[in-house]
Chain A
């Protein structure tokens, strides 16, 4: 295993002057990153349909995610945004009666092709959930190292290397300074926001190339939310981040591109600034200006 470059500490969010058109949603949009829209396509979704039993949760969705970009998926509750996200690392199929059709290519390889092991997919495409889920029986260090325990013995790194990667992951999740003196204490003693950053560190330790965040701040207070948002901003220097959020301000703050979903349909995918200022679909405009949803 090669040691990856250390992750940069999260920088405070730059706050550009507020464009007049954004007054409607009362927030600011971050300036697009210099490399926005130029990265290689890492995840290419074509004609994706997802079902729970007879319920058609995602309809004919097509979207491409580029390397080192943050894409936000917004939309009203029940629009299928979490389901779309869960199709990307094959978590959708872990629910009984769930079904997927269509094609998702990861670096050109079909994720749902024959012979593809969903376990490997999930190691490359990490995921963090709505509620923090530290493993209550493990201490902080072992929580972050949990991904290594899932590996077959011959692929498991040595103890020293695990320690190094735990530290690196915790630094990457901006948690190291808060927990470095109590790595052996239980993870559930941490605050909710710390627990969520621990879960992000746990996902980072697997060295994925894509990180899926499913409403990661829905259960957190504003201050913890801000820390997670700053973290998301920093993560895009190394990772492709896809974040599902209820919160349009959050989408505007952290993402390069935003996708709007409605009733299982992917209505519009645009650069974040454009989607919130000059959306091309009237339904998007109605949603971002608060006329429904």
Chain B
């Protein structure tokens, strides 16, 4: 009896420890970022363009807006394609094309992001002869497509087949059943998957290196080169200036908060509207 209770306590302690080890890196990163970067976050950081090398002051408005523009382009291309592919995969599980698409999506998921960047350079930069936000957005979209497709497929698969049959028996056509019943039921999960994909590419640097390139000026024109937070973190961190190092920490903090906000939004969206679903 004593022995069993002891084992129980020990095992419980080990599990707490394991959980703590999982959380520790995240906590350490956040604490470190706040300590190093929080002091540099002020109104100027969000409103002013980055300063010239070696001078003090300036902000990150060009990079923050640049990241938002890139994410907008990436979502605009990547999410419709990815979600549509996911719906196709889920609704035609056994089709030969579906297994091929599923396999290729998994391969694409494993492609190193720098290779994705080279691909985007090849199709978007080389033909027109200059770097652009379009190219950066396409590179990020290429990474989002397999993520969105696979999560959409998984989410649609959780919808019980009985729901599909019920709709068909009411006189719904196959496509209307898919879109208005099955996809609608899986929608919170699909949106979550989309936001997770967005958060995932928000911090990508490598695909932007030779696509969006970076820009020290403020722009929202997708035909021009554009700044992005990860690119600026990289260039500021390797610069020799202390002031820039602090700005790099601050930019990292802003980036991670942005990703956290997207994740929290994902949690909020997945709340069921009418309480727990059946099955």
Contact = CB atoms under 8 A, between A and B. Distances in A.
A206 interface: yes
A222 B195 CA distance: 46
A199 to B, nearest CB: 7
Contacts of B185: 135-137
Interface stretch (A106-114, A142-150, A284-292): A142-150
Interface string B246-279: 0000000000000000000000000011111110
Interface stretch (B109-117, B146-154, B158-166, B231-239): B158-166
Contacts of B180: 149
B165 A94 contact: yes
Interface in B58-106: 94
Interface residues of A, number: 33
B12 to A, nearest CB: 36
B162 A131 contact: yes
Interface stretch (B26-34, B169-177, B219-227): B169-177
B163 A133 contact: yes
B273 A119 contact: no
Nearest to B187: A137
A123 interface: yes
Contact of A147 (B94, B170, B173, B273): B170
Nearest to B173: A119
A139 interface: yes
A206 B170 contact: yes
A91 interface: yes
B176 to A, nearest CB: 6
B278 A136 contact: yes
Contact of B274 (A94, A133, A186): A186
B7 interface: no
Contacts of A123: 170-171
A99 interface: no
Contacts of A133: 160, 162-163, 165-166, 278
Given A137-B185, A188-B277, A150 B166 contact: no
Nearest to B159: A136
Interface in B170-215: 170-173, 176, 180-181, 184-185, 187
B168 A188 contact: no
Contacts of A33: none
B278 A134 contact: yes
B274 A150 contact: no
A199 B160 CA distance: 16
B165 A129 contact: yes
Nearest to A94: B168
A73 B160 CA distance: 26
A199 B166 contact: yes
B94 A96 contact: yes
B108 interface: no
B275 A91 contact: no
Contacts of A139: 274
A187 interface: yes
A251 interface: no
A122 B170 contact: yes
Contacts of B168: 91, 94, 122
A239 to B, nearest CB: 15
Contacts of A146: 167, 170
B170 A188 contact: no
A150 B172 contact: yes
Given A135-B166, A135-B185, A147 B278 contact: no
Enumerate the 6 nearest inter-chain pairs by beta-carbon distance, A residue then B residue, closest first: A186-B274, A133-B166, A123-B171, A127-B169, A136-B277, A150-B172
6 contacts: A119-B172, A120-B171, A134-B278, A136-B278, A150-B167, A188-B277
Given A122-B168, A133-B162, A150-B167, 19 more contacts: A91-B169, A122-B170, A129-B162, A135-B163, A135-B185, A136-B163, A136-B185, A136-B278, A137-B184, A137-B185, A137-B274, A139-B274, A146-B167, A150-B170, A150-B171, A150-B176, A186-B274, A188-B275, A188-B277
Interface of B: 94, 160, 162-163, 165-173, 176, 180-181, 184-185, 187, 272-278
